[in-house]
Amino acid sequence: MINVIGLGYIGLPTALMMASHGIEIVGTDCNKELIQTLNAGKTTFKEDGLDELFQDAVNTGIKFSTVYQETDTYIVTVPTPYDVFSKKIDAKYVQAAVKCVMEVCLKGSIIVIESTISPGTIDKHVRPLVEEKGFIIGQDINLVHAPERIIPGNMIYELLHNNRTIGADSREIGEKIKNFYSSFCQGEIVVTDICTAEMTKVIENTYRDINIAYANELAKICRSDNLDVYEIIRIANKHPRVNILSPGPGVGGHCISVDPWFLVGDYPGLANIILAARKINDSMPEFVLERIYDIMKETRITDVSRVGFYGLTYKENVDDMRESPTLQMLETMEKHLCGNLVKVYDPFIEIDIIPNQMHDLDEFLEAVDLVVLLVGHDEIKNNMDKLKDKVILDTRKICDLEGTYRL
């Protein structure tokens, strides 16, 4: 039996996928309300195919509990934030989970850290805990890193098809954990050492962050000379070895916007391009606010309450708001005492989390004159005709209506 620790955006789909493929699974989380919801037969976030996968897992016997289980295999999928000042990983949740596992685990147990961690985290923050407890690593407890590689909005497909990396101290343990993941993963599974697995996952997201930053910096450069960055990118991408991304309002989610900071924190003075990319992407919400201000002056819109932000999530067609550029913009506006004035709407966020949040598209559009498109949900793409009489700032390049402003 495998005890999956942490049932959030990564842990829950992973537990469900393994259970639906015949592995005995108990999912554990310290959030009692979350466990009650799952035991009541309901999922805790929206994702295509998740409800069906949940039902398959329930039918094959998955269980949910706040209690750590006495078993020999654990998969830890708890959050891994970073310290806002040092930029180093804050491993407190991983450490807490490992401590709890050690209270109940069987001799020879395997603890798989699936949470994204910075290179050296297991050596610095996990091994010492195990040794302080009196366990011998490799005999009493075996440590493994198997970083997740899925994205909200396409989780089920990516769990099945993405390649995976397993980092372990010994080939034997690595192959054993590989067999568990092979029960459902159709991609290639590479077995390597732990530090290599840690570094590999972090640099994957850092690579993406740097490429996004290049597009965002181009948007700023082109804006300074009133050039169309999208047309320039379109033409440049006709080169056979060029593939520039589209700029956007910022980088959200708990991967691309977080993982590069681990390298900045751990390798000061070396991660220079990475640091520059992070600064560029973190500056984009402020850049969008400046564009809004300029457009308001040009169109003579003086009432901030007639400005509407479409989209609260960090990407299209999901309900994940972690590190959302929209929330970053609202936080900045709050510092200037106007964050509670703009109207905000997102079809995927049903509960009120901020002032002036609306829950009907037509009512939202009726209440605003300037619509800022911050997320490309299918809903708005299919209703562009409703924006014909509005001033539009499109930060996602999804609107082709005449007169639309862009970054």
Q: Tell me: the pLDDT tens digits for 22-51?
A: 999 999 999 999 999 999 999 999 899 999
Q: Please check whether residue 340 is in contact with residue 355, taking contact to mean a CB–CB distance below 8 angstroms.
A: yes
Strand partners, 75: 4, 112
Residue 339 has pLDDT above 80, yes or no: no
How many other CB atoms are there within 10 angstroms of residue 88's CB atom?
17
Give the pLDDT confidence of 143-173 residue by residue, as tens digits.
999 999 888 889 999 999 999 999 999 999 9
The Cα–Cα gap between 378 and 256 comes to: 23
Q: Which of 255, 315, 343, 399 is catalytic?
A: 255
**Percent of the chain clearing pLDDT 70 (strictly above):** 100
Give the pLDDT confidence of 223-261 residue by residue, as tens digits.
999 999 999 999 999 999 999 999 999 999 888 999 999
Give the pLDDT confidence of 90-130 residue by residue, as tens digits.
999 999 999 999 999 999 999 999 999 999 999 999 999 99
297: Cα separation from own chain's centroid: 35
Amino acid identity at 278: R
Tell me, yes or no, if 30 is annotated catalytic.
no
Residue 398 has pLDDT above 90, yes or no: yes
**Percent of the chain clearing pLDDT 90 (strictly above):** 94
Q: Does domain 246-406 have CATH number 3.40.50.620?
A: no
The structural domains of the chain, with segments of one domain joined by +, span 2-192, 246-406
Q: Please check whether residue 122 is in contact with residue 97, taking contact to mean a CB–CB distance below 8 angstroms.
A: no
DSSP codes, 36-78: HHHHTT--SS--TTHHHHHHHHHHTT-EEESSPP-SSEEEE--
The packing angle between helices 229-236 and 194-224, to 10°, is 120
Tell me, yes or no, if 255 is annotated catalytic.
yes
84: confidence class by pLDDT, cuts 50, 70, 90: confident
Architecture of the 2-192 domain: 3-Layer(aba) Sandwich (3.40)
Average pLDDT of the segment spanning 356-367: 97
Strand partners, 27: 4, 64
Block residue for tokens 């708990």 = 254
Average pLDDT of the segment spanning 172-196: 97
Q: Which tokens belong to 213? A: 């930053």
Does 246-406 match 2-192 at the fold level? yes
Q: Which tokens belong to 304? A: 């901030």
Residue 376 has pLDDT above 80, yes or no: yes
153-167, 176-190, 229-243, 333-347 — which is least confidently predicted? 333-347
Q: Which of 63, 201, 315, 343 is catalytic?
A: 201
Give the pLDDT confidence of 50-69 residue by residue, as tens digits.
999 999 999 999 999 999 99
* pTM exceeding the 0.75 threshold for the entire prediction: yes
338: confidence class by pLDDT, cuts 50, 70, 90: confident
Residue 254's pLDDT is what? Answer: 83
CA angle 328, 202, 189 (to 5 degrees): 130
User: Exposed, middle or buried: residue 154 (CB in 10 Å: 0-12, 13-18, 19+)?
Assistant: middle
